[in-house]
Structure 1
Amino acid sequence: MSLLRSREAVMRHFRVTLRGHDITEQQWRVLRALSSVGEVEINDLVRSTFLLAPSLSRILRDLEARQLIIRRTPASDLRRSLISIAPAGLALIEIVGPHSEAIYAEITRRYGAEKLALLQDMLRDLEREMTAFAPLDSALDDIQL
């Protein structure tokens, strides 16, 4: 619960700006990920954004309808989809990005750069440890009742 409360406290600051540009947190995450690569397959985008494939599918459909991304199917393999950020998506990044960076700067100022770096290290450690063993649900399957 502490992790969820902390995430919510941080994200509350970002949502105001995102809502002002009619974009969700998840859509912003996708646009940010796409802005750092040229073109990417959907499976790679799933991994880099930590979104579930069905959710990402819906998000991509919405972003494509708003002409913020470009989806293309390579002629060599019609089963694949390649996604890239459209000029309108880059323009949105240019507008919203500075607000996002200002929030990160304020978080750093309030919490402290050293504490923030330590927190990020600890969260990476937690992620690594939690990834190293099977989810609790799987472990419970092995227990005889």
Structure 2
Amino acid sequence: MLKPRQSLTLTLLQAREAAMSFFRPSLNEHGLTEQQWRVIRILNQHDELEIYQLAELACILKPSMTGVLVRMEAAGMIHRRKAEQDQRRVLVTLADKGRASFASMSQCMEANYQRLQEQLGAQKLQTLLGLLDELKSIKR
């Protein structure tokens, strides 16, 4: 009888939780959820995105993304606007408060990355990131 294969998806989820244990305390200190931080970080890199693009990049389901953005807009962290050429398209940008959150979190998050790297090792971390990028690029 064949021995069951280790579950890739379960192992990835468990690894995500282990990695988040380095970052979650900082998010809690700054009053941000993981989803809000992903939105802030991605918008900081891309300036302006349509909601569906943001949801895809942040790995947040579109129905959940709507609630996240409503709360972030109410908190003054993002702006939403309809595209001029197509009123059905909604574009999202960081507001000044969102940019300030990114700036205040960046140093803290970098320190968390350094702690993780110290435990795992720089080469292993780079190898892991490379392997994960390869996995993401595999077509179904």
Q: Distance in 1 between matches of 2:13 and 2:89?
A: 35
Q: Secondary structure at the match of 1:70?
A: strand
Number of equivalent positions: 131
TM-score by length of 1: 0.83
Once the two structures are superposed, residues 25-74 of structure 1 have per-residue CA deviations (whole angstroms, 9 ceiling, x without a partner) of 01100010001122111121122212111111111111001000011113
What are the residue-to-residue correspondences of 1:116-127 with 2, within 5 Å? 116-127=125-136
Structure with higher Rg: it is 1
- Bigger relative contact order (CA 8 A; separation at least 6): 2
TM-score by length of 2: 0.86
1:82 counterpart letter in structure 2: L
| Other-structure match for 2:94 | 85
Q: Distance in 2 between matches of 1:101 and 1:34?
A: 18
- Is 1:53–2:68 an aligned residue pair? no
Task: Report percent identity of matched pairs.
Answer: 37
* Structure 2 gap ranges (5+): 1-9
Q: For the aligned residues, what is the CA RMSD? A: 1.4
| Other-structure match for 1:40 | 49
Tell me which moved more, 84-93 or 36-45: 36-45
